[in-house]
Structure 1
Amino acid sequence: MDKNSLLLVVVLFFATANAQNSQSKERLWYKEPATKWMEALPVGNGRLGAMIFGQPINERIQLNEDSMWPGGPDWGDSKGTPEDLVYIRQLLKEGQYHKADEEIVTRFSNKGVVRSHQTMGDLYIDFSTKKVANYYRELDIETAVATTSYNSEGYNYTQEVFASAPHNVLIIRYTTTNPKGMDATLRMNRPKDEGFNTVQVSSPAPNQIQMKGMVTQNGGRLNSEAKPLDYGVKFDTRLVVKNNGGIVVSKDGILELKNVNEAVLLLVGSTSFYHGNNYESYNEQLLGQVQELSYNEMLSAHVADYQSLYKRVTLDLGGNEFNKIPTDERLKKIKDGGTDKALSALLFQYGRYLLISSSRPGTNPANLQGIWNEHIRAPWNADYHLNVNLQMNYWPAEVTNLSECHSPLFDYTDRLINRGRITAKDQYGIHRGAVIHHTSDIWAPAWMHAERAYWGAWIHGGGWLAQHYWEHYSYTNDIDFLKNRAWPAMKALAEFYLDWLIYDQDSKTWVSSPETSPENSYMAPDGTPAAVSHGAAMGHQIIGEVFNNTLKAASILKINDDFVQEVKSKLKKIHPGVVLGPDGRILEWTKPVEEPEKGHRHMSQLYALHPGISITQKTSAHFEAAKKTIDYRLQHGGAGTGWSRAWMINFNARLQDAVAAQTNIQKFLEISTADNLFDMHPPFQIDGNFGFTAGVAEMLMQSHEGFIRLLPALPESWDSGEVTGLKARGNIQVSIKWKEHTIERIELVSKEDTKATLVYKDRKKTISLSSNETIILNQYLKELTK
């Protein structure tokens, strides 16, 4: 058999296998190519990403890198003085709420140009193909490979794309059964920035394209006036072609493939953010290394690396017969009133896929769009919103057994804290600890950055992020992390709060002031909305949580100094974060007020329910009040965004309300899910994907009450199923199999000698676990023989 005949047999085999695999449960697949960005399929290695359109004639692969930002770390710093803080507090004391709204922005907000994460550009591949049949495209989230296949004039053509973390490269392979090979033209470009070219494209070698430039934001505005940013991260993107058969011709930054049987495209991208002035030489070195490897070597390494994370957790809810239907058609059936529990399981795993693909050790944390962004100026700048969105990105990290993917958030928060120490001292006159406000970007500014008080004058971004340090320890029992990473961060944020709180003579409590509730407002006495207040529920809940977790950490680390004693003292008299109003709902502010937006998307007063842990069945009055609070918001049109609906699923799970959880899952799929399963705010925000995944995990297993609760919110339609590999606090892996709504088998594996208490329905049992020993129990929590 000659070489071309052998290639024909191999490619035909894989094309047939791809078509058969469309029935596999963990893949997105379609009968048509993407015609717009929200239909394209994402791949990523944590830092480098791409959106695959799967166009058979004029293919577009949109490229991303996580450090593509304008500006730099040298931008200004805090604004305002301690005297300004005293003035704002006096305005609140006098009831001048609107004046406080105006003055807090005027005196404290550093209104710099809002910077945006940006696209790295596009790779275009134009084929000589004219007519296409048997079209098929998929994203296999079990292998993290995107495949497109079709037939043209009796011959098969296949495209495979993946982003390799081990080799830090995007890999694209084209194959055909046509004995004459295939012809294609390859070019790269990047959108203009307000009419300005942003890249230079050239061919440094006969089989290469180089696209390099500097990120700018010429559309920047400040106080409604033009203020262009003409500097930022420098970047270099290179593409090299390895061909089998035929030739590659280079001309003016364009590559032409002629009669090529197989082409492997290797694309690398590096920036000055990671590599300083050596970003171009880094690319040269990296290309030299990967060109020595075969496609199969790179694919094997990629799949092994990816599956070492992804395969830790499985979820089967049944209904897998729907996997025979294209993903977009399944969504349409749901929007038309149908149900598809297998799609819920797929969306759960898709969230894990996206986190692995957008957040790896050594990268930046996933932003509002993960790493996938086609814009020069993205919606909401694809930045880091710290009043729910960034935190929600990492809700599934621990419980779905992806602790390593959590690490970029800690690296970033450490940088925020360093900047926040300066902000606390200069802005508020607080000389210990750190404060972090509502929004930030890759350069980690911590100061107030707002044009309106209702969204920007919020000081608890750092306090909320402190929860993640404690949660990581709670799930991993990593004492080195607690001592060397978590404790310094938690202490810095607690120190700030100690000096921020003021004593309120009326309530005889420590109050956070000035305060806002994320992006919401209340009706001032004159009947118009105001934002700044003397205390608010979420702020007090977060401060109380920071103090509590800091004391827990101090106890474990055997620290009992003056700082610890001060935290204990103030915690005893901090204003309660959960206060019930006359109608039984939890107040969002310290006193009952009229709400201008009764169905607001944020549910800030329920932080203590989720992601906090202080509202549980044990606090029965608060538990019931949380239900009333949710009902009221939903009755007035709440949960209108994708991430808000995802948060609602987590609330429902914590309240053990399976019916409500299922209802909100259905609505998330009907209203907030695009054809490529991206969450729609709208437009696209990735936080909802991650929040959905976390919510499903919470429905199946919870461990925040000091014990492991099994199937706390199992929907009626999820009658039989199995989940494996979820992680409970205490570093215990939990697997559950159930049939007809009743557990058949529980499997526990601990990484160390410990005890665990299980709760299932009205049963409760404490068992001893030895390190790496598997314990199997039945529905009665009785141990079974293996």
Structure 2
Amino acid sequence: MMKYLFTFLVAAAYTLPLTAQLKPSHNLSFPMLAKRWDEAIPLGNGIVGALVWEKNGRLRFSLDRVDLWDEREALHLNKYSFKWVEQQVLKKQYDTVQRAMDVPYEASAYPTKLPGAAIEFDISSFGGVQSNVLDLATAINTVKFRNGTTLTTQVYATAPIGGFIFSNITDKQWEPQLLIPNYNTGASGTTANSVDGFGLEKLGYEKGTVTKTPGRIIYHQPISEGKYYEVMVWWEHLPGNKVTGNWAISNNKPAIDMLKNKTATWGSHTAWWARYWESSAISIPDTLLEKQYYREMYKLGSVAQTGAPAISLQAVWTADNGNLPPWKGDFHNDLNTQLSYWPAYTGNHLKEAATFTDWLWKTRTANRKMTQQYFAVEGLNVPGVETISGYPMGGWIQYSLSPTVGAWVSQHFYWQWKYSMDAQLLKEKVYPYLHETATFLENITRLENGKRKLPISSSPEYHDNSIKAWYLNWTNYDLSLAHFLFTAAAEVSAAAGKTEEAKHWKSIGVQLPALDANETGLTVAPGENLGSSHRHFSPYMSIYPLALLEDKTVIKNSLRHIEKLGSRAWVGYSFTWLACIYARANEADSAVKQLQIFASNFCSPNSFHLNGDQKGGQYSGFTYRPFTLEGNFAFAQGIHELLLRTRNGVIEIFPAVPDSWKNVSFTSLRAEGAFLVDAEKKNGEIVKVKIRSEKKNTLKLRLPGGAVSEYKMAAGQVKEFDFKK
């Protein structure tokens, strides 16, 4: 067995570059193991993940693999069409649509993400936990016990394998036990809603088998459609009272094949995380926000690595509570996937951001099939709720089958190009994707009296799934996405040398009406103001993330109206999204306040976004705790929006930093145009700015209170501005 164990040796701690600001104080550090799965230490590499916690007095690794899915069809979309839905709306017979297309999501446990299994260790003889630390710099979790035993564990960054070491161990009772999900316990499986998670028994799987041999346990679980997955743990005693082991999860192939992986080593793992943290860094005087920021960026590196699919609701940390994950752990494209990638661009993590666009590119065939089948036009749209393979799952169809989802996810292709200026990427993926999504939106809209409109429009999640959620005029949500898509399609077409096509998209954009606004700012739709507190800021898309709206009065009125309605119906991501909107309006103190509320009230001790207010409803009427990731990542982008912004091609340094933040700095944040920026502010004054251009380009720069300056930059050129007197 020795030859199969991967290198996992205790080495000196990795030292970050002097420019980085990652500190030991940012680590997750506790005097005990968590007693809940959603407070556990999170480890992951985009493909597999683990949660380290304590259950019933035993140390537990909750194991997960991101592509464990039951993709059986619950929504039979071939029976229905967007035109049929429009007809039912016009006939006011919408209950037929609800029964046919909304109900299957809640009526069936599948399609769904699946949990993996768990490993447990008997730690009763270890004398209790002395310390439990996740070192963010190396993504290593170390648990020290009072009797001198130490556990060191990780999920390798470079292979779909987990590893662990017990040092100074003499007790033979510690050896791992493999705990399998309760697919076949005989329980009723009556948990009956997607938020709490359906009971696993509802899936109807055959009973899995567990095979034990010395130093090895393998669990084989048949799932749907003749497929299976396997979980394997293997370990070995080494001299010096040390035990080393590994675990793996395979999808539809033998887990023992994972033994052949030779890339899982301590060196490759720590080197990967070293490169990741070298990509960028920030330093701000608010210790709560700085700590939360680095924990969010750690999670981004743990769930968005090359080769992984897009970030789903929980990514590699599926709930370990005997049920399926909240909302089936699916891919929600009515904000969840989009918000999850916001910080990757300014944060200089384009490889991590590419896991979204690569997945969207990979699932185009399934998305195109849905588009032609349901919308009955050429072009490309994307389901608002879909499986890992890109198939629609249904739910409230105003959003799960919205005609503008493709427009929103297209922004991430656009950003990939704008932040990298990669000509090959533009030609091979960005232009084709935007061309196809814009073609769809042109085909699905109609010209009436010279103006283009959707047959029916909606605004997530206003009026839920009732007939009132459909509007016969544009909502500002759909309209702002249409404005963005046709403008972006024109820009990328021109950049790709498609001059006539660029003119065409501009002409289509001119046919769109203006966004609707009144004394309350942006409305939901003409004649309807946002009437109550609402968690989804869909009417305000044009402020952020689309950055279309420049009218300061409309933006100000919108924010005052949001404030008037209050936050009782918000969840955690509402606060972080609003922080980005405030930052774009240069209302720095308000932006910071939203970030502070999120970090203080809406996160688990391990920093997971739990949606509800965990302090008894201090800010929100939602006090539940379903874990999803988008609020975490929108938080990180909220920090970026304070520090660096690109607006209409102009880079703005410290555009929304509070006056109280006297000492602020960042290194290697990325701006549109393929510029990497360092900046430092001391005693309230900017003392240094350094900008490196990755491509030949014109740098347009604005410092706070200053005019725009322009500089011609060659590829690789660095320009420094020293303001010290």
Same fold (TM over 0.5): yes
Aligned-pair CA distance for 1:303? 0.7
- Taking the TM superposition and a 5 Å limit, the aligned residue runs for 1:245-264 are 245=239, 261-264=241-244
Aligned-pair CA distance for 1:692? 0.3
Which residue number in structure 2 is paired with residue 225 of structure 1?
none
For residues 13 and 699 of structure 1, what CA distance do their matches in structure 2 show? 35
CA 1:680/1:347 → structure 2, altered by over 3 Å: closer, same or farther?
same
Contact map agreement 1:723 1:737 (CA 8 A) in 2: yes
For residues 691 and 588 of structure 1, what CA distance do their matches in structure 2 show? 22
Match of residue 634, structure 1, among 563, 587, 599: 563
Contact map agreement 2:86 2:456 (CA 8 A) in 1: no
For residues 126 and 315 of structure 2, what CA distance do their matches in structure 1 show? 35
For residues 83 and 501 of structure 1, what CA distance do their matches in structure 2 show? 12
Which residue number in structure 2 is paired with residue 206 of structure 1?
214
Aligned-pair CA distance for 1:77? 4.2
Match of residue 554, structure 2, among 622, 625, 634: 625
Contact map agreement 2:367 2:382 (CA 8 A) in 1: yes
For residues 101 and 624 of structure 1, what CA distance do their matches in structure 2 show? 38
The answer on 1:538 being equivalent to 2:477 is yes
CA 1:418/1:31 → structure 2, altered by over 3 Å: closer, same or farther?
same
Cα RMSD, aligned residues only? 2.9
Structure 2 residue identity aligned to 1:71: E
What SS class does the counterpart of residue 724 from structure 1 fall into? Answer: strand
Which residue number in structure 1 is paired with residue 195 of structure 2?
none
Which residue number in structure 2 is paired with residue 443 of structure 1?
389
CA 1:767/1:30 → structure 2, altered by over 3 Å: closer, same or farther?
same
Which residue number in structure 2 is paired with residue 303 of structure 1?
270
For residues 82 and 531 of structure 1, what CA distance do their matches in structure 2 show? 12
For residues 707 and 270 of structure 1, what CA distance do their matches in structure 2 show? 47
CA 1:613/1:78 → structure 2, altered by over 3 Å: closer, same or farther?
farther
CA 1:755/1:594 → structure 2, altered by over 3 Å: closer, same or farther?
closer
Which residue number in structure 1 is paired with residue 245 of structure 2?
265
For residues 98 and 49 of structure 2, what CA distance do their matches in structure 1 show? 37
CA 1:23/1:530 → structure 2, altered by over 3 Å: closer, same or farther?
closer
What SS class does the counterpart of residue 217 from structure 2 fall into? Answer: strand
CA 1:388/1:346 → structure 2, altered by over 3 Å: closer, same or farther?
same
For residues 319 and 128 of structure 2, what CA distance do their matches in structure 1 show? 27
Aligned-pair CA distance for 1:695? 0.9
Aligned-pair CA distance for 1:44? 0.4
Which residue number in structure 2 is paired with residue 477 of structure 1?
421
What SS class does the counterpart of residue 53 from structure 1 fall into? Answer: strand
Aligned-pair CA distance for 1:663? 1.1
Contact map agreement 2:125 2:171 (CA 8 A) in 1: no
What SS class does the counterpart of residue 25 from structure 2 fall into? Answer: coil
Aligned-pair CA distance for 1:119? 1.4
The answer on 1:593 being equivalent to 2:519 is no
Deviates more, 1:686-695 or 1:755-764: 755-764
The answer on 1:510 being equivalent to 2:452 is yes
- Taking the TM superposition and a 5 Å limit, the aligned residue runs for 1:73-152 are 76-81=76-81, 84=84, 87-88=87-88, 91=90, 99=92, 101-102=94-95, 104-105=97-98, 111=104, 113=108, 114-129=110-125, 131-132=127-128, 135-152=130-147
Match of residue 516, structure 2, among 570, 576, 579: 579
Match of residue 288, structure 2, among 340, 343, 360: 343
Deviates more, 1:437-446 or 1:116-125: 437-446
Structure 1 residue identity aligned to 2:581: F
Contact map agreement 1:587 1:605 (CA 8 A) in 2: yes
What SS class does the counterpart of residue 463 from structure 1 fall into? Answer: helix
For residues 559 and 85 of structure 1, what CA distance do their matches in structure 2 show? 36
Contact map agreement 2:163 2:245 (CA 8 A) in 1: yes
Contact map agreement 1:490 1:550 (CA 8 A) in 2: yes
- Taking the TM superposition and a 5 Å limit, the aligned residue runs for 1:10-49 are 24-49=24-49
Aligned-pair CA distance for 1:289? 4.3
What SS class does the counterpart of residue 657 from structure 2 fall into? Answer: coil
For residues 429 and 342 of structure 1, what CA distance do their matches in structure 2 show? 53
Aligned-pair CA distance for 1:544? 1.5
What SS class does the counterpart of residue 674 from structure 1 fall into? Answer: coil
The superposition leaves residues 709-761 of structure 1 with CA deviations (integer Å, 9 ceiling, x where unpaired) of 01111124432132111101111111111112221111111212322111112
Contact map agreement 1:498 1:567 (CA 8 A) in 2: no
Structure 2 residue identity aligned to 1:357: S
The superposition leaves residues 299-325 of structure 1 with CA deviations (integer Å, 9 ceiling, x where unpaired) of 12101012212221112224xxxxxxx
Structure 2 residue identity aligned to 1:391: Q
Aligned-pair CA distance for 1:423? 2.6
- Taking the TM superposition and a 5 Å limit, the aligned residue runs for 1:307-456 are 307-318=274-285, 341-375=286-320, 376-430=323-377, 432-446=378-392, 449-450=394-395, 452=396, 455-456=399-400
Contact map agreement 2:459 2:469 (CA 8 A) in 1: no
The superposition leaves residues 328-356 of structure 1 with CA deviations (integer Å, 9 ceiling, x where unpaired) of xxxxxxxxxxxxx2231121122221111
CA 1:708/1:728 → structure 2, altered by over 3 Å: closer, same or farther?
same
Contact map agreement 1:398 1:472 (CA 8 A) in 2: yes
Which residue number in structure 2 is paired with residue 249 of structure 1?
none
Which residue number in structure 1 is paired with residue 541 of structure 2?
607
Structure 1 residue identity aligned to 2:511: K
What SS class does the counterpart of residue 703 from structure 1 fall into? Answer: strand
The answer on 1:656 being equivalent to 2:586 is yes
Match of residue 705, structure 1, among 633, 643, 648: 648
Aligned-pair CA distance for 1:11? 8.8
Aligned-pair CA distance for 1:396? 1.0
Structure 1 residue identity aligned to 2:432: P
Contact map agreement 2:118 2:180 (CA 8 A) in 1: yes
Structure 2 residue identity aligned to 1:379: P
Aligned-pair CA distance for 1:121? 1.0
Bigger Rg, structure 1 or 2: 1
Structure 1 residue identity aligned to 2:216: Q
Aligned-pair CA distance for 1:433? 0.2
Identity of aligned residues (%): 18
The answer on 1:286 being equivalent to 2:258 is yes
For residues 696 and 490 of structure 2, what CA distance do their matches in structure 1 show? 24
What SS class does the counterpart of residue 28 from structure 2 fall into? Answer: strand
For residues 582 and 373 of structure 2, what CA distance do their matches in structure 1 show? 42
What SS class does the counterpart of residue 723 from structure 1 fall into? Answer: strand
CA 1:673/1:536 → structure 2, altered by over 3 Å: closer, same or farther?
same
What SS class does the counterpart of residue 129 from structure 1 fall into? Answer: helix
Contact map agreement 1:101 1:453 (CA 8 A) in 2: no
Which residue number in structure 2 is paired with residue 235 of structure 1?
229
The answer on 1:159 being equivalent to 2:106 is no
Which residue number in structure 1 is paired with residue 598 of structure 2?
668
Aligned-pair CA distance for 1:492? 1.2
The superposition leaves residues 14-43 of structure 1 with CA deviations (integer Å, 9 ceiling, x where unpaired) of 9xxxxxxx9823311111221111221101
Task: Give the aligned length.
Answer: 670
Long gaps (5+) in structure 2: 1-8, 14-21, 184-188, 190-200, 613-625
Aligned-pair CA distance for 1:197? 6.4
Aligned-pair CA distance for 1:691? 0.3
Contact map agreement 2:334 2:400 (CA 8 A) in 1: no
CA 1:368/1:83 → structure 2, altered by over 3 Å: closer, same or farther?
closer
Contact map agreement 1:175 1:263 (CA 8 A) in 2: yes
Deviates more, 1:40-49 or 1:750-759: 750-759
Which residue number in structure 1 is paired with residue 407 of structure 2?
463
What SS class does the counterpart of residue 673 from structure 1 fall into? Answer: coil
Structure 1 residue identity aligned to 2:296: G
Aligned-pair CA distance for 1:182? 6.0
Which residue number in structure 1 is paired with residue 702 of structure 2?
759
Structure 2 residue identity aligned to 1:118: L
Aligned-pair CA distance for 1:429? 2.5
Aligned-pair CA distance for 1:679? 1.1
Long gaps (5+) in structure 1: 1-9, 15-21, 216-229, 246-259, 273-278, 319-340
For residues 83 and 107 of structure 1, what CA distance do their matches in structure 2 show? 15
The superposition leaves residues 67-87 of structure 1 with CA deviations (integer Å, 9 ceiling, x where unpaired) of 111135898544324752663
Aligned-pair CA distance for 1:470? 0.5
Structure 2 residue identity aligned to 1:567: W
Deviates more, 1:700-709 or 1:403-412: 403-412
The superposition leaves residues 643-698 of structure 1 with CA deviations (integer Å, 9 ceiling, x where unpaired) of 11110111111111111011111211222121111112132111011000011011
CA 1:182/1:401 → structure 2, altered by over 3 Å: closer, same or farther?
farther
